[in-house]
Structure 1
Amino acid sequence: MIINHQNSHLIFPFTAIVGQEEMKLSLILNVIDPKIGGVVIMGDRGTGKSTTVRALIDLLPEITVVSDDPFNSDPQDIDNMSYFVHEKIKKNESISTSKKKISMINLPLGATEDRICGTIDLEKALTEGIKAFEPGLLANANRGILYIDEVNLLDDHLVDILLDAAASGWNTVEREGISINHPARFILIGSGNPEEGELRPQLLDRFGLHAKIGTVKDPEIRVHIVGQRAEFDESPLLFRKKYEKKQKQLADSILYARDNLDKVKINLDLKKNISKVCSELKIDGLRGDIVINRTAKALTCFEKRTQVTSNDIFRVIFLCLRHRLKKDPFETIDSGKQVYEAFKKIFN
């Protein structure tokens, strides 16, 4: 399912969402730098996980695509074009381009591997000598967002496929010796309720960020949220009009950050301290180090600054490391105390 931007007037505005700052920041930073690696959002039922993710589509910038390409290829990025576009270039055919909003693809829990990856029409390929490929959700999600609600209930095999594609940026489909591959660079967003089961640590580690959300306890805020929802349900267009200015300001800030991310610098001492924290916490591999660097730079650029500070790192390090900590299998994900103590020790 592709969420249609023409029906965005029915979607709750992102800037109207009260609280859940951790989740909102994680989503924004991933849109600014998709190489952060996505986010898994875990929390109680009814805490606005799906509402917030779907509200994100209003803020997504436009991208340039090859008009008739089902893979949303970037006409300026030769290394990541689909075979469809490469064939046109070889034949010296003209390539038309168009602008479109970044797509958000919703992956249903019952989706099969063929629906996700796409299928090869073997009979057509053998009889007509062409690679007849029916694109799947990964093709639709290229250069966009792939959202899985209740990701912890999705079959581990399918989650592995999604994470492999997200990490490599390519999807490969093979059948009877015939192979097709196409670009599949997307932001993977998963949400779920931890009471229904956690993701395996190996899968959790593959998500760039981990956002924890909980039920709002303050009665006044709860009343405010209920009132907002009632107001939106009664008149979505009128409610959205109240937030038009804030929505545009936030969308402009995201676009600015995407365009200026390469101007942000992080000095060597901060990089060393990041790696020292990861080492102190016995984080496996280097993914934690890389994600902290990227996320801190995205935050810095979002706030229209060019130099990462230790405070920027402090604000994102919990999102980057809490799901990578070694823990007792009977414990829940660390509340952040271990990360805080390591940060305080290394960064003084």
Structure 2
Amino acid sequence: MKLNTVENLVRPVFPFTAIIGQEEMKLALILNVIDPSIGGVMIMGDRGTGKSTTIRAIADLLPEIEVVADDPFNSHPYNTDLMSEEVKESFNSQITLSQKKIKVPMVDLPLGATEDRLCGTIDIEKALKNGIKTFEPGLLAKANRGILYVDEVNLLDDHLVDLLLDAAASGWNTVEREGISIRHPARFVLVGSGNPEEGELRPQLLDRFGMHAEIRTVKDPDLRVKIVEERSAFDQNPLDYVESYRSTQDNLKERILAAQNILSDVHIDYDLKIKISEVCSQLDVDGLRGDIVTNRAAKALAAYKNEDSVTIEHIETVITLCLRHRLRKDPLESMNSGDKVDKVFQKVFQ
């Protein structure tokens, strides 16, 4: 008789490799997982197009990570850049730290979340009475070395979006109250999703997301029927359905791991860097984030394809994802921002 453990009571997640279509969104998520320094992804699209399903599926696909046991920040056992201050002190003092493996954290930020819930709180009373820094970790601590997912990010308070993006860019979260300061690592892949009908993000916030994927409802009736059938098969028998995708899931896991391992060796020619910057310049993209992210995404794609140098095809695949949300809005412009990026790319690279 099989015992009911927490693991087998939790409902299985729909397999990432079973998701039909939405290739742009899937590629953006995979590249951010390979190189989190790309800066996350904003996914905008119609309701009911599988945004949440896909994001949860990518988290379930990732290999387990090593953490220090009983540490609220998922500190790395031997990489000091990914340790909390307390763990780093123990590590430097050569104290043996117990380790364990956990699934990559997948943290949902609810719409009604407060700043304290997001960043954590300091117990001032204990600090003043006993001289002890007592910190109640927030969602940024739980998301360290994982994925932080914000559904309906365009409805989230701008102040919270600012905090999120600052933590994602710096990799650290700092909480200060009454002269007491606590700092902990907050390295995560930030994924936002939303429906454009419910309002856009401010341009300066949108620009802080590394990539921007647009998804649309599938129009082809045959494909729609296939999606419905796949979902029905999963709902009827989730365990058997997940098992049937085991080998394809494992293959993708191995590809992602291999890409992470060779990423630092991937080379991009100076001429290609110049052309990427020329595209950004001709599109009148503010700042240099577009240049940086396009370079990083192209290298991550080359690593994903197990190639050691970036080609024009790699750049063509990622450049729209990296630049479309950085263009200035012109109310008289009839061309889609993605098409505009592609048009300038063809002109510069051909």
So what's the TM-score if we normalise by structure 2?
0.95
Match of 1:307 in 2: 309
Pairing 1:69–2:71 present = yes
Give distance in 2, aligned partners of 1:79 and 1:55.
28
Match of 1:247 in 2: 249
Match of 2:154 in 1: 152
Deviations 1:291-326 (A, max 9, x none): 001100111111111111011000000000000001
Give distance in 2, aligned partners of 1:260 and 1:187.
20
Q: CA deviation at 1:78?
A: 1.9
Give distance in 2, aligned partners of 1:92 and 1:300.
39
Pairing 1:223–2:245 present = no
Q: 336-345 or 192-201: which moved more? A: 336-345
Q: How does 1:61-140 map to 2 (within 5 A)?
A: 61-89=63-91, 92-140=94-142
Match of 1:347 in 2: 349
- Call closer, same or farther: CA 1:181–1:67 in 2, change over 3 Å: same
Q: 215-224 or 99-108: which moved more? A: 99-108
Q: How does 1:134-213 map to 2 (within 5 A)?
A: 134-213=136-215
Deviations 1:85-130 (A, max 9, x none): 1332465532222222211111111111101000000000111111
Q: Which residue identity is paired with 1:204?
A: L
- Say which of 2, 12, 15 aligns to 2:14: 12
Number of corresponding residues: 345
Contact persistence 2:144–2:186 (CA under 8 A): yes
Deviations 1:191-212 (A, max 9, x none): 0100000111011000000000
Contact persistence 1:323–1:333 (CA under 8 A): no
Give distance in 1, aligned partners of 2:225 and 2:282.
43
Q: CA deviation at 1:345?
A: 1.6
Give distance in 2, aligned partners of 1:245 and 1:332.
45
Give distance in 1, aligned partners of 2:84 and 2:333.
45
Contact persistence 2:327–2:337 (CA under 8 A): no
Q: CA deviation at 1:77?
A: 2.2
Q: Which residue identity is paired with 1:206?
A: R
Q: CA deviation at 1:6?
A: 6.1
Q: Which residue identity is paired with 2:64?
A: E
Contact persistence 1:325–1:334 (CA under 8 A): no
Q: 229-238 or 212-221: which moved more? A: 229-238
Q: 142-151 or 98-107: which moved more? A: 98-107
Match of 1:47 in 2: 49
- Call closer, same or farther: CA 1:235–1:333 in 2, change over 3 Å: farther
Match of 2:292 in 1: 290
Pairing 1:319–2:304 present = no
Q: CA deviation at 1:15?
A: 0.7
Give distance in 1, aligned partners of 2:166 and 2:99.
29
Unaligned runs of 5+ in 2: 1-5
Q: CA deviation at 1:7?
A: 6.2
- Say which of 7, 26, 29 aligns to 1:27: 29
Contact persistence 1:265–1:297 (CA under 8 A): yes
Deviations 1:215-256 (A, max 9, x none): 000001011111111111111111112211111111111111
Deviations 1:16-36 (A, max 9, x none): 111000000000110000000
Deviations 1:23-57 (A, max 9, x none): 00000110000000000000000000011111112
Give distance in 2, aligned partners of 1:172 and 1:185.
13
Give distance in 2, aligned partners of 1:166 and 1:29.
16
Give distance in 2, aligned partners of 1:333 and 1:344.
15
Q: 321-330 or 121-130: which moved more? A: 321-330
- Call closer, same or farther: CA 1:7–1:184 in 2, change over 3 Å: farther
SS of the aligned residue for 1:282 comes to coil
So what's the TM-score if we normalise by structure 1?
0.95
Q: Which residue identity is paired with 2:230?
A: Q
- Call closer, same or farther: CA 1:90–1:58 in 2, change over 3 Å: closer
Unaligned runs of 5+ in 1: none
Query: Post-superposition, which runs of at least 4 consecutive aligned residues in structure 1 deviate over 4 A?
Result: 4-9, 329-333
Q: 228-237 or 133-142: which moved more? A: 228-237
Q: CA deviation at 1:272?
A: 0.8
SS of the aligned residue for 1:134 comes to strand
Give distance in 1, aligned partners of 2:50 and 2:264.
33
- Say which of 261, 264, 268 aligns to 2:266: 264
SS of the aligned residue for 1:55 comes to helix
- Call closer, same or farther: CA 1:296–1:121 in 2, change over 3 Å: same
